[in-house]
C-alpha cells in the first residue's frame, strides 16, 4: 500500500485550480475516485454541466450559497457564508474519515486562512484525519511557513510577463 501525499499548489499565477483538476482527471483515468471541495470561488465549477458528466469518478462540491466572490460580500453575508464554509470543512473531514476517494482537492482552502475563517492549527487538525493512502491537494494564493510544515510538497505557480521576439 502506498503512502498518500499532501501537496499545495500556490502562488499569484493563474492555473492552480486547473492543475489540480488535471491531477483529478489523471486519478479518475486510473479507476480511482476524486472529491473536490471549492471554497471562495463564487459560482465555481459545481454547477457546470461538463463537470457533472465527470461523475461518479470526480465529484465537485461547493457549500457556499452566494454566487458572488466572498471578498465582494457584505459583512452580514460573509458571516453567513462562514458557516457554510465550515460545513464544507466538516464534509472534507467526513470524506477523509470514510476514505471514499483516493484524491481530495481542497480548492482555495489557503484563502480561508487569509480571510480568518480557518486557522493553521484547525487545518492541521483537519489534515490529521487523512487516511494514509489518500492524496490531498490544497490550492491558494498566499502561503506561509506554518502551512508548509504540514505538507509533503509545494508547487508555486507564477505569472511571468511575456516579451515578444524581435
Question: Do residues 85 and 63 lie in contact, with contact meaning Cβ atoms separated by under 8 Å?
Answer: yes
Q: Is the pLDDT of residue 128 over 60?
A: yes
What is the side-by-side strand order in the sheet with 34-38? 58-62, 34-38, 103-107, 135-140, 6-10, 153-156
pLDDT at 47: 61
What are the structural domain ranges in the chain? 6-156
Q: Is the pLDDT of residue 165 over 70?
A: no
Share of the chain above pLDDT 70, in %: 93
Largest CA distance in the chain: 57
Q: pTM of the full predicted structure?
A: 0.90
Higher pLDDT, 96 or 46: 96
For the stretch 37-56, pLDDT in tens is: 999 876 666 566 777 788 89
Residue 94: all three cell numbers together: 467526513
Q: Is the pLDDT of residue 15 over 70?
A: yes
Q: What angle do CA 96, 52, 157 make, to 5 degrees?
A: 65
What SS3 class is residue 47? coil
For the stretch 57-90, pLDDT in tens is: 999 998 988 888 787 888 898 899 999 999 999 9
CATH number, domain 6-156: 3.40.50.300
Q: Residue ranges of the alpha helices (H) in the chain?
A: 16-29, 49-52, 75-98, 109-114, 120-127, 145-148
pLDDT at 96: 97
C-alpha distances (whole Å) from 145 to each of 6, 41, 89, 96 are 15, 24, 22, 24
pLDDT at 166: 58
Instruction: Give the list of residues 6+ apart from residue 120 with CB closer than 8 angstroms, or none.
Output: 113, 144, 146, 147, 150
Rounded Cα–Cα distance for residues 9 and 156 (Å) = 6
1: confidence class by pLDDT, cuts 50, 70, 90: low
Amino acid at each position: 500500500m502506498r503512502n498518500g501525499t499532501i501537496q499545495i499548489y500556490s502562488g499569484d499565477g493563474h492555473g492552480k485550480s486547473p492543475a489540480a483538476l488535471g491531477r483529478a482527471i489523471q486519478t479518475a483515468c486510473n479507476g480511482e475516485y476524486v472529491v473536490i471541495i471549492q471554497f471562495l470561488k463564487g459560482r465555481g465549477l459545481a454547477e457546470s454541466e461538463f463537470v457533472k458528466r465527470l461523475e461518479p469518478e470526480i465529484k465537485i462540491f461547493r457549500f457556499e450559497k452566494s454566487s458572488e466572490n466572498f471578498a465582494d460580500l457584505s459583512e452580514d453575508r460573509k458571516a453567513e457564508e462562514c458557516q457554510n464554509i465550515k460545513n464544507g470543512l466538516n464534509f472534507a473531514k467526513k470524506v477523509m474519515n470514510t476514505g471514499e476517494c483516493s484524491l481530495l482537492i481542497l480548492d482555495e482552502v489557503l484563502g480561508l486562512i487569509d480571510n480568518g475563517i480557518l486557522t493553521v492549527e484547525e487545518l492541521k487538525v483537519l489534515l490529521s484525519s487523512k487516511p494514509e493512502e489518500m492524496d490531498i491537494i490544497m490550492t491558494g494564493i498566499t502561503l506561509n511557513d506554518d502551512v508548509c510544515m504540514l505538507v509533503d510538497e509545494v508547487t508555486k505557480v507564477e505569472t511571468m510577463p511575456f516579451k515578444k521576439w524581435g
